[in-house]
Amino acid sequence: MIAIDHGRTRRTTLVATICALAVAGAALLTGCGGDDPDAGTNGVGKLPPDRIQAKTRAAADTARAVRLSGTVVTSGLTYTLDMRLKSGGGTGSVTSKGGTFRLLRVGKQLYLKADADFWHHSGDTSAAGKLDDKYVKVPQGDPAYRKFSGFTDKDVLLGGLLTLHGKLAAAGHHDQAGTRTIRITGDNGSGGTLDVSLDGTPYPLRLVRAGSAGTLTFSDWGKDFPAAEPAKSETVDYGRQLPGS
């Protein structure tokens, strides 16, 4: 009769179990990223910078809607934006030189809404009370229309923003509000930097514009929102060039 060393058997089983767990853990770590920062991503991080830029531009162009917020510096003025945009219009707030107003565009019709102080500082003291907190129709021939309609146009605004200048380069893996990104730069950052999502669709998530011309974040890609013309009781037709245009 053969004697069985139960203690040795238990030790052998324990060692085998530990080894199996170690192997499984290593495999799990490799599957979750391990030494490869692009493991489990959409793969754009492995592409050349020009291909990354092309893919993120295409993703932005085909998205149904987007929300953007941050600052844009143009013509010497800084505008702080919080806008929601889609192909048929846009809505949101704009702040410049201490004054805040809302923009709403439905089709080709642009509305501007602000309080009495805004209109007072714009130069129309007599009508400030009438225009207070009302949607004012902006005539299409008014300078204000040309100036602000672009802030409500997804294609125009993103087309002018999502281009880096100079030689493109990859600048490593980063994180934007909990989403993994690959960063690309133009001329080592002087031509702008763009963070592109590595999770799901390669949408642009953060842009630092060239020449200190502002920083913008992008969110709510593809999420629709209501954009309808305001009720007549909420609307004033100024009928001529807006004050301060």
**Domain annotation covers residue 9:** no
**Domain annotation covers residue 65:** yes
Pairing between strand 235-237 and 134-138? parallel
Contact 183, 198 (CB under 8 A): no
Mean pLDDT, rounded, for 138-164 = 90
CA distance 95 to 240: 24
- pLDDT at res. 97: 87
Mean pLDDT, rounded, for 191-202 = 98
Between the alpha carbon of residue 153 and those of residues 167, 208, 233, the distances in Å are 28, 20, 26
**Domain annotation covers residue 243:** no
Model confidence, pTM: 0.80
Q: How many domains does the chain have?
A: 1
Q: What residue numbers bound the domain in which 92 lies? A: 44-231
- pLDDT at res. 29: 43
**Domain annotation covers residue 19:** no
**Domain annotation covers residue 53:** yes
Q: Any idea what the CATH number is for the domain that residue 197 is in?
A: 2.50.20.20
Mean pLDDT, rounded, for 217-234 = 94
Mean pLDDT, rounded, for 162-186 = 96
Give 1's pLDDT tier (boundaries 50, 70, 90): very low
**Domain annotation covers residue 32:** no
**Domain annotation covers residue 198:** yes
Query: Is residue 136 packed enough to be buried (19+ CB in 10 Å), middle (13-18) or exposed (0-12)?
Result: buried
The pLDDT tens digits of the residues spanning 80-124 come to 999 999 988 999 999 998 889 999 999 999 999 998 888 877 766
